[in-house]
């Protein structure tokens, strides 16, 4: 899992291929995290009480990490939707 995370982060920061390759790598990481979260919750069904608590916490943490990663890589909002105009400066003034 650590290697998959490293590969995904490297692919995101320093893409060697196309953006489609990068997106595929990140999607694979997100899918793996989702599978692990599901597996942890399924294992919790048959585990002793203390282990159940730990596995549920792991599953919840993985689900939260997946949600954070998904929100972080969403497509950028179109500048037009933000109301920017041609000629606006970075500080909001006009040129």
- Residue extents of the structural domains in the chain: 2-15+24-73
Residues 53-74 have a mean pLDDT of 86
CA distance linking residue 71 with residue 77, whole number of Å = 12
pLDDT per position as a tens digit, 8-58: 777 767 767 777 777 787 788 888 888 888 999 999 999 999 999 999 999
The whole-number pLDDT of residue 14 equals 73
Look at residue 83 and tell me whether its pLDDT is greater than 70: no
Report field, pTM of the whole predicted structure over 0.85? no
The whole-number pLDDT of residue 86 equals 47
Query: % helix / strand / coil in the chain, to the nearest 5?
Result: 70, 0, 30
The band of 85, judged by pLDDT with boundaries at 50, 70 and 90, is: very low
CA distance linking residue 29 with residue 12, whole number of Å = 12
The whole-number pLDDT of residue 79 equals 43
Residues 84-95 have a mean pLDDT of 47
């Amino acid at each position: 899992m650590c290697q998959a995370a490293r590969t995904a982060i490297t692919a995101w920061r320093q893409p060697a291929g196309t953006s489609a390759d990068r997106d595929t790598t990140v999607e694979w990481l997100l899918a793996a995290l989702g599978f692990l979260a599901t597996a942890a919750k399924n294992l919790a069904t048959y585990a002793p009480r203390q282990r159940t608590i730990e596995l549920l916490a792991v599953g919840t943490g993985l689900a939260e990490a997946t949600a954070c990663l998904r929100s972080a890589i969403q497509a950028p909002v179109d500048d037009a939707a933000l109301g920017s105009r041609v000629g606006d400066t970075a500080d909001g003034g006009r040129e």
